[in-house]
Amino acid sequence: MSDFRQAFIQFAIERNVLCFGEFKTKAGRLSPYFFNAGLFNDGDALRKLGQFYAKAIVAAELPFDLLFGPAYKGIPLVSAIAIALAEMGRNYPFCFNRKEAKDHGEGGVLVGAPMQGRVLIVDDVISAGTSVRESVELIKTAGATPGGVVIALDRMECGSGELSAVQEVQQMHGLSVTSIINLNDLVAYLQHHSGLAQHLQAVQRYREQYGVNY
């Protein structure tokens, strides 16, 4: 596991973004862990989060021309990532959308740089894939090309069928999905941290029951 992935897990635990226990998911499953990216909610946390996304993007060597953050969670994410990439000497334009079109001033639903070229969609997690689908439609309508998706966590568990939510997005839209960490990274982290050993078996059982290997 890359050093930045291990550091991200530690960071998420310290911020109580990643918690262990028993949590009911939208699918009605009892998950032994919970990830709430909304708790990256101050300036320093957002700065560091942007840096982790940037490292994942660079490590994956993703080809893109523009960063796009879907409203609302994607707006601070795309802003932080653009700053982090610029600090690494990689200056990219970014934009985001409004939930409702503005009928005065500059108008429209898009804010920021012009929507053009290959567009990298930024989000926190992929659950049902609704946000990605809406983003793809918006990007294509604007005449640009969806170029991929980057998220914080890939839970690697089956969605509505045998595929994971990430695999469903990849199959439906033909897009690559990159994550800072996935469930395999979390298991590896727990295996090497004795203070969290009590959670390892529960996470492994959950992966055996609902997990998808890839």
Given the residues 24, 102, 140, 192, select the one marked as catalytic: 102
Identify whether the C-beta of residue 21 lies closer than 8 Å to the C-beta of residue 30. Answer: no
Rg (CA), the chain: 17
Q: Whole-angstrom Cα distance, residue 67 to residue 136?
A: 13
DSSP letter at 54 equals H
Exposure string for 3-14, b = 16+ CB within 10 A, e = fewer: ebbbebbebbee
55 labelled catalytic: no
In a 10 Å sphere around its CB, with 0-12 CB exposed, 13-18 middle and 19+ buried, how is residue 181 labelled? buried
104 labelled catalytic: yes
Structure tokens at 190: 């727990």
Given the residues 24, 48, 55, 104, select the one marked as catalytic: 104
Which residues are the active-site residues? Answer: 102, 104
